[in-house]
Amino acid sequence: MGGILVIGSYNRDTVLRLARFPAPGETLTALGMAEFHGGKGSNQAVAAARAGGRVALITAIGDDASGQAARALWAVEGIEAQAVQTARAPTGAATILLDAAGENQIIIIPGANAELALLPGFTPSADIAVALAQLETPQAVTAALFRALPGTRRILNVAPAAPILPELLATTDILVLNETEAAILAQREAEPAALALALAAETMREVIVTAGAAGAFWARPDGIVIDAAPPRVMVADTTGAGDAFLGAFAAFSAEGFAPEKILRLAVTAGALACTQQGAVPSLPHRAAIMALAGRI
């Protein structure tokens, strides 16, 4: 089984639990506050490792307590972090508003993530099967690393939604977005399968659109779509559900599973991640994914 290289962010997440989101100009009192590890890159690396992948992470952290806590997390999760960079800026941070229905609103402060650089002399290991990145770190760095990895499956999670640099799109094999991000990129509202098809035709790349309880839709530029529905779960917090999907998708892709099975396992991982509060605490382990997917 080949390894997985994740290129992306680490953030320290502060979660504010609310009865509902505030209106513009309104002041609300939070029901509670908690801190967690976060950042889409680190979350997806942890998710891939817990799903059974052999994972290396390229990210940037500050020379501070949050950065030290991040290194401790990666050691516990068995993630290779030798290529992690220490930047001059503080470790990235995110403030997450969580309402009573488990929906969230996220504001990120990029910090060190914005300083991730292509270090001279760094060569990705030869046995990488899957490379996975998001848009919380500089796109040009991801593009250069993807370019150095021909023959691997290069997956770009278009989150947060933003225009994709042409050189990054040119080196990407699969784009993964949630339905909100897909609507922003496609500049129109539509059903998730239609958005996946439209974006696949426009980009000439495979495109997966995730749609929460409605499942995920994987479209190819030739018009073929496969889909998978997740198991029903009690939703406590949707934060990290997309990261669980991406990490599991990368891990099961690296194992060479068939597309239908990869998608079913990935939506199951995403559903499991909704059942607990916080991104990292909710990322499921392989046994839980397999057990629940076997029942659907």
Q: Please identify every residue annotated as catalytic.
A: 243
Q: How far is the CB of 103 from ligand RIB (least distance, A)?
A: 13
Q: In 3D, which of 73, 98, 75 has the Cα closest to residue 15?
A: 98
Among 108, 135, 143, 244, binds ligand RIB (CB under 6 A): 108
Q: How far is the CB of 151 from ligand RIB (least distance, A)?
A: 28
Q: Does 106 contact ligand RIB by CB under 6 A?
A: yes
Choose the stretch contacting ligand RIB; rule: CB under 6 A; options: 7-15, 22-30, 145-153, 253-261. Answer: 7-15
Q: Which is nearer to ligand RIB, 12 or 205 (CB)?
A: 12
Choose the stretch contacting ligand RIB; rule: CB under 6 A; options: 8-16, 27-35, 121-129, 176-184. Answer: 8-16
Strands 104-109 and 92-98: antiparallel
Q: Which helix (H) or strand (E) holds 175?
A: strand 174-178
Q: Which is nearer to ligand RIB, 129 or 272 (CB)?
A: 272
Q: Which is nearer to ligand RIB, 2 or 8 (CB)?
A: 8
Taking only Cα atoms into account, the Rg of the chain, rounded to an integer number of angstroms, comes to 18
Choose the stretch contacting ligand RIB; rule: CB under 6 A; options: 34-42, 52-60, 182-190, 226-234. Answer: 34-42
Q: Which is nearer to ligand RIB, 129 or 283 (CB)?
A: 283
Q: Which x/- pattern, by CB under 6 A, does the window 230-249 give for ligand RIB?
A: ---------xx-xx------
For residue 286, give both structure tokens: 């392989």
282 neighbors 244 (Cβ within 8 angstroms): yes
Burial (Cβ within 10 Å: 0-12, 13-18, ≥19) of residue 247? buried
152 neighbors 131 (Cβ within 8 angstroms): yes
- Going from the C-alpha of 173 to that of each of 133, 153, 224, the distances in angstroms are 12, 6, 16
Q: Which is nearer to ligand RIB, 152 or 238 (CB)?
A: 238
Q: How far is the CB of 139 from ligand RIB (least distance, A)?
A: 16
Residues 6+ apart with CB under 8 A from 247: 43, 44, 45, 46, 47, 48, 49, 50, 51, 53, 132, 269, 283
Among 38, 62, 138, 215, binds ligand RIB (CB under 6 A): 38
Q: Does 77 contact ligand RIB by CB under 6 A?
A: no
Strand order across the 153-157 sheet: 55-58, 3-7, 128-133, 153-157, 174-178, 206-210, 216-219, 225-228
Q: Which residues bind ligand RIB (CB under 6 A)?
A: 9, 11, 13, 38-40, 43, 94, 106, 108, 136, 239-240, 242-243, 279
